[in-house]
Structure 1
Amino acid sequence: MTTIFDSNGPSGAGTGRVADLLATALLGPDARREHGFWRRLVTTEPFRRPLWPPPGPTPDERLALAHARLRALNSALDSAARPASDPRALAAMHEWLAPVDPALTTVAGIHYNLFLGSLLDHDTDSTRDLSDFLRLRRIGTFLCTEVAHGNDAAAVETTATYDPARDGFVLHTPHAGAQKFMPNTSPAGGPKSGLVAARLIVGGADHGVFLLLVPLTDASRALPGVRVRRLPARMGSPVDHCLTSFDQVFVGRGALLGGVQGRVGEEGVFRSETEGRRHRFRASIGRVTAGRICMSASAVGSARATLAVAVRYGGHRFVSGSRPSPPVPVIAHRSHHGPLAEAMATVFAMSLLHRRVLDRWEEAAAGPPADREAAERLVDVAKGWITWQARSVIVECRERCGAQGLLENNGMTELVTGVEGAITAEGDNLAIHSRAAAGLLLEAARDPDEGPAAAPPGGDLTDLRFLGRLLDQVERIWFARAAARMARVAHGDPLERWNEGSGPALRGVEAHAYRQAAHAYECALEALPSGEARERLGELARLFALRWVARNSGDLLAAGHLTAGQVEGLTDVSEQFIAAVSGHLPELTESFALPGELLADWPIAGARYTDAYDDAGASWHTAAAREPAGDAR
């Protein structure tokens, strides 16, 4: 077991030492400070999962539990502003809460990041009273998406018109398509206030989309002028997704979250240091980028937990063969442990890439605009890739657990639906990858002669440097194809040009994500001392790279970067590393540092999982009591 969270510090040798080193690679060198609080929190009440047997809680009861947990979380914090102001704390919160309660993760992420974070970012002179939100007397929510505007949120149609006579703004929803289409806006859980994205109209001029702080509900109903209607239940989620609209709702001038993007002064005149309505909008909703990091963190935490449960269950679920012989654990079969080994390589890649993105984002925050733009693009690429990979891993692990994995008490079904939400939240993956593709294509066009040197045929398929060069080439191949296809279209039709090149360009973004993840593996390996932990991580890194090379082997062969013999040998080399990783799956899951209390709440994670289904009134318990007493003579 890992000991990096124990007060006695890391163990001296053996498996524990390997798990500690790998956990440090996954969670960072300051794991105890960064993750310790959240890891301890999920082992306490009310964060433990309710025990079977059914009936389980209804959706409304689950939502009430999520809000009760939110209040317990807030009470446990030394300051409720900490998650909102510390990106590492915010990411760690999502990493540990997501496997426990996706609904809690949603309401906590909205409150601490999108709501409180935006308020803190824009309250530069500290004049706004945030005490109600810091003490959770009012829960914060965020209303940006509309029925008719999602990924094009810069075009939202809710209006906030400045009224000079009252020195404030009148919020209004002009038609059905402008209703806000967002979660957690009903009175469920307590009084709510929201940051509402609306078009700022001053003196008849449209200055773009800004955020305004608007009270939405009291403890039981929507406030005058605010209309909140529950949407149909969302797949797997008890969170109250709602339609919210406004009918001439007045708020004071101080409700506007201003900054460099613009303010309305005391004289009622709009001024801005930011040119262009789209740039003002992006400055207003800057917290969405942090939200994408949080979606990656949620996906990473959920995938690790699901994989740990699947590995444990595979080790104590015994099956019999066709010949008379002792039963064996199902994980002994290649058909079972192979997919889990590949999932382990992917989960490590996801975790390492997530930490790389978090590091880059923090470093770029105080840097020049070009650095921030590059870091934000990496956030977008990682969010899409990590959440998609998490879905594949979670679904694979669920399947490896058979019918048991479909039962809610074993935790997996919630995580399957939870990751679907992460794929769409803070910008649909396909939309943000399309934006990243445009940026990466432009970057490649500016530096056509830059890029990795050609990988000479005849390299060793077990050499990480050679595999890394192949991953570089895959990215170059796809972006070159995209550029060539777009060049065939006249410059006057940008949509047609994009449609012509978007297919290979999006494959290029996927290749870029794989290359970044492989580089994260490389950096983690360099940080480890020689020994067993480095060997384990090297096996995972090679398996991860080989799977991507195999998927693109035809293109690499055609471009002269692989020989026919190397393509033929890919299967044998991949199987070599599948076998190596499979032999250490239980030890590798120890590096996830999942607390025993968390795993105990999922029956199939324990060797005595059948005890969860025991029946005290069944014949195997009552038969002895029914047998007649023996002859007393």
Structure 2
Amino acid sequence: MRWRNTSLGSVLDDEVSPARDLTRFEELASTGTFLCTEQDHGNDAAALETVARYDRVREEFVLHTPHEGARKYMPNTSPVGGPKSAVVAARLTVGARDEGVFLFLVPLSDEQGMRPGVTVELLPDRVGSPVDHCVTGFEHVRLPRTALIQGEHGRLAPDGVLDSALGSVRKRYLHAIRRVGIGKLCMSASALGGSRTALAIAVRYARLRHVSGPTAGVRVPLAAHRSHQARLLTRTATAYAMTCLHRAVTEEWISHSPGDRARVERLVAVAKGWITWARDITTECRERCGARGLFPVNGLAEFTADADGAITAEGDNLAVWCKAGAEMIFGQEAAPAPRPATGHESLADPAFLRRALAAAERHWHLTARRDVHEGGRDPLARWNQASAAALALVETFAVARAADAFATAGARVTHPATRQVLDDLRALFLLERIIPLSGLLLAEGALTAEQVRAAPTALNDLTARLGPHLAALTEAFDVPEEHLASLPLLTARTVLRTGT
């Protein structure tokens, strides 16, 4: 579905050009891909070097890759799977003028193979779910003027005059690739689905798999051991928070106004980084299923590698978080200072824990601002000085927004017992993140010394209270029973007969 967003979606966004015949795409007789990243330009794709020169005489574009470093990197562009087209990001030049990066609809192959001037070099297989990843180049490929995908960022007249509502070349580029924002939501959803499925598998396996108990001759399920159960429970709490955050951010993306786009794009980027970086969920689930979890047939082994792909796709996580952090330092208000802890607050109260987290968010925000000023005159030195605090700010902000989304979703639950379980789960999610910050929060007055000492016990108590609900919590992920029943490690007879 990703190509439908970035490739076909970009074409459909063009309401300026004459209507294009998309029948072959709709019938899947031809598929599309999106070519932006180059060998020499990944996260700095605004500096890409593929050129689309406009020929005024013939009213055509000449698409060209000037050197190996400008070849498009990694998308599936070989003839495997049938005819393909691509939406290609290239630098539009008209005479001596560089008009910035625009998108062009380019046929790559047909039933006879690659089109003239299009070269592909197949890359080695990657781990995870590989496709025909390639390096793609263009050798003076001629395109009709209708190949240009136009919009408010630019309309090209036959005489080569560009009319753009966006003054800067950078703004034109960002508008041209705006579908990447939706792509970040897609990558987040993919990783989130993997995490939820992995938890459903691992929790069911923990109930089916029996091991020797403390009494000779008595066997107990893995789930009876809190050391096993707690690791899955904390990941389940994170998955709930991730789910609520993703849904809330998706809703903001759908409903945002044009004036709020920059903030929402930043929120999408922050969520994408936090959700896809939570690949420790799938790693933990694989480990909790022992040796059997290593076999792809049991549905767990490839999730972590798939998450690795999502981490890099649609903007490398570290790069998009650096951009978000730099914007947030002065472009966003710091969280208000929470009231100091009295020591009477309960460590199982998610509202109290959320206030404590706000103290950490505020600390990192103010620290990043201070570090920028202390970094000297050189822009890179200033960023290097502030980057650690800025990235801590982004992470804390992501956790806080996830907790808020979790709270909003829980408030809609009317069944008292279910709501209490969700409140406890949210408290578990927050407390697990508060404990590593306890020194900072003690210094900030958000926790008392006694609360810091009591936090591990409070975490253990929450785990004990939530343990009986773990199966129900993961069953609520609604992973299709047909899928779970197809996995050999979840066949009770097989689980009980093997030693793994």
**Same fold, TM-score > 0.5, yes or no:** yes
2:283 to 395, 399, 404: 395
Alignment-derived partner of residue 140 in structure 2 = 248
- Indicate yes or no: 2:242 matched with 1:344: no
Specify the code of the residue in structure 2 equivalent to 1:462. A
Alignment-derived partner of residue 268 in structure 1 = 160
**CA shift in 2, pair 1:612/1:130, >3 Å:** farther
Deviation at 1:125, TM superposition (A): 5.8
1:483 to 369, 372, 394: 369
Alignment-derived partner of residue 347 in structure 2 = 461
Identity of aligned residues (%): 47
Equivalent-residue separation in structure 1 for 2:253 and 2:497 (angstroms): 44
Specify the code of the residue in structure 2 equivalent to 1:138. S
Equivalent-residue separation in structure 1 for 2:400 and 2:249 (angstroms): 13
Unaligned runs of 5+ in 1: 1-107, 614-633
Alignment-derived partner of residue 318 in structure 1 = 210
Equivalent-residue separation in structure 2 for 1:379 and 1:206 (angstroms): 31
- Indicate yes or no: 2:359 matched with 1:473: yes
- Indicate yes or no: 2:177 matched with 1:288: no
Instruction: Write the deviation string for residues 203-228 of structure 1: whole angstroms up to 9, x where unpaired.
Output: 22111110100110123521110001
**CA shift in 2, pair 1:575/1:156, >3 Å:** same
Unaligned runs of 5+ in 2: none
Aligned ranges for residues 365-514 of structure 1 at < 5 Å? 367-369=257-259, 371-389=260-278, 391-444=279-332, 447=333, 451-458=336-343, 459-490=345-376, 492-514=377-399
Alignment-derived partner of residue 545 in structure 1 = 430
Instruction: Write the deviation string for residues 457-513 of structure 1: whole angstroms up to 9, x where unpaired.
Output: 3222122221111111111111222222222122x3110000001011101100000
Equivalent-residue separation in structure 2 for 1:125 and 1:452 (angstroms): 52
Helix, strand or coil at the partner of 1:266? coil
Contact 1:228 1:244 in 2 (8 A): yes
Instruction: Write the deviation string for residues 132-178 of structure 1: whole angstroms up to 9, x where unpaired.
Output: 11111111011000000010000110000001121110010011100
Equivalent-residue separation in structure 1 for 2:490 and 2:65 (angstroms): 50
Deviation at 1:323, TM superposition (A): 4.3
Instruction: Write the deviation string for residues 255-278 of structure 1: whole angstroms up to 9, x where unpaired.
Output: 000111112112332221111111
Equivalent-residue separation in structure 2 for 1:167 and 1:126 (angstroms): 15
Helix, strand or coil at the partner of 1:413? coil
Aligned ranges for residues 509-528 of structure 1 at < 5 Å? 509-528=394-413
Alignment-derived partner of residue 300 in structure 1 = 192
1:158 to 50, 53, 73: 50
Contact 1:217 1:223 in 2 (8 A): yes
Equivalent-residue separation in structure 2 for 1:568 and 1:607 (angstroms): 42
Contact 2:73 2:135 in 1 (8 A): yes
**CA shift in 2, pair 1:187/1:479, >3 Å:** same
Equivalent-residue separation in structure 2 for 1:411 and 1:587 (angstroms): 20
Equivalent-residue separation in structure 1 for 2:173 and 2:384 (angstroms): 26
Alignment coverage as a number of residue pairs: 498
Helix, strand or coil at the partner of 1:244? strand
Specify the code of the residue in structure 1 equivalent to 2:367. R
Alignment-derived partner of residue 466 in structure 2 = 581
Instruction: Write the deviation string for residues 570-624 of structure 1: whole angstroms up to 9, x where unpaired.
Output: 01111111112221111111211122112122222332334999xxxxxxxxxxx
User: Pairwise CA RMSD of aligned residues?
Assistant: 1.7
Aligned ranges for residues 183-194 of structure 1 at < 5 Å? 183-194=75-86
- Indicate yes or no: 2:27 matched with 1:135: yes
Deviation at 1:236, TM superposition (A): 2.3
Contact 2:375 2:386 in 1 (8 A): no
4+ residue runs of structure 1 moved beyond 4 angstroms?
610-613
Contact 2:16 2:150 in 1 (8 A): no
Helix, strand or coil at the partner of 2:302? helix
1:211 to 85, 103, 108: 103
**CA shift in 2, pair 1:561/1:398, >3 Å:** same
Equivalent-residue separation in structure 2 for 1:211 and 1:420 (angstroms): 27
Equivalent-residue separation in structure 2 for 1:331 and 1:221 (angstroms): 55
Contact 1:190 1:220 in 2 (8 A): no
Specify the code of the residue in structure 1 equivalent to 2:362. R
Q: Output the TM-score relative to the length of structure 1.
A: 0.77
Equivalent-residue separation in structure 2 for 1:586 and 1:229 (angstroms): 48
Contact 2:294 2:300 in 1 (8 A): yes
